[in-house]
Amino acid sequence: MISPAQTAAVARWLDHARAIDGVAENTIKAYQADVLAFLSFLTIHHGDSQGIAPLTRLTVTDMRSWMAHERGRGVGARSLARMLSAVKSFFRWLSDREDFDASVVIMTRAPRFQKKLPRPLAQEAARAVITQVEVQATEPWVAARDVAVITLLYGCGLRISEALGLTGRDVPLGSSLRIVGKGGKERLVPVLDRARDAVADYIRLMPYELDRDQPLFRGVRGGGLSPAIVQKTMAAVRMQLGLPATATPHALRHSFATHLLNAGGDLRAIQELLGHASLTTTQMYTSVDTARLMEVYRDAHPRAKGGA
């Protein structure tokens, strides 16, 4: 059983992550599960309840034993890397407060795994998705709703949570939209005329009152639209168009980024539009052919342009 001192430390760390770092609640829950699982292993591994002091004296053997234990339970490399990331985050916070060297934990290498690169849709497929969404709903206002949501995902690069987080105060849409993304970070996203018109059509047909604080997108019973409904809609579109299973709502966001980059968009500008904290993430979320990459290289690299 995890000691009360360790449990309290985890709770304080999560409060800090939630309040100071703005970590999303789903991530908080994942952090909690991963770190408590690690502490539970240590308790069993050492044979008794552990306080804070033993955490300051962890060894390389402890870390290797934990990772071997998790792999033995069938935990994949990707999941173990995620768990290790949470453990490292906790120990960085704890070492600052308890004044100890946490390098044994922090320097532990994550297992290697093949990253699954997102697969954007071709431009023709993305347009076909919007067209198909419009004709497959039985009620006109539901069709208009689905078109508006899908158009925002592809035309503005929004996450599902961001599109469904819009309220009555966000409409009518202007030339740009202020989005609060992961970690509470705000960004301004340009709104295409087609997206603005799609949302306006939906509002005109929607049978419910739209107050400023209520969700913009509604389910058929009037409550906020569930992400599962958007995913179900996209699944039906995939079947109708013969698209692969990778054609998900989130793939539309990847498509937005990739098509902008292919059209000559600046990678850092696209990073800001997507709300990515790291340019590396944006690079992973975009797909561009080798010829386009070489063109970007020649335009941007000092040596390629004749500089020193």
Does residue 45 carry a catalytic annotation? no
- Rounded to whole angstroms, the Cα distance separating 248 from 232 reads 10
Does residue 303 carry a catalytic annotation? no
Does residue 185 carry a catalytic annotation? no
Structure tokens at 82: 């995620």
CB 280, CB 115: distance < 8 Å: no
Residues 6+ apart with CB under 8 A from 65: 45
CA 268 to chain centre: 18
Q: Write down the catalytic residue from 145, 218, 238, 253.
A: 253
CA dihedral of residues 18, 78, 179, 227 (deg, nearest 10)? -100
Q: Write down the catalytic residue from 31, 154, 202, 285.
A: 285
CB 184, CB 25: distance < 8 Å: no
Give the SS3 label for residue 206: coil
- Rounded to whole angstroms, the Cα distance separating 103 from 91 reads 9
Q: Write down the catalytic residue from 159, 187, 196, 218.
A: 159
Burial of 101 (0-12, 13-18, 19+ CB in 10 A): exposed
- Closest to 136 (Cα-Cα) out of 237, 207, 231: 237
Does residue 253 carry a catalytic annotation? yes
- Rounded to whole angstroms, the Cα distance separating 208 from 289 reads 46
- Rounded to whole angstroms, the Cα distance separating 12 from 7 reads 9
Q: At what angle do helices 25-46 and 60-72 cross, to 10 degrees?
A: 110
Q: Write down the catalytic residue from 18, 78, 182, 292.
A: 182
Catalytic residues: 159, 182, 250, 253, 276, 285
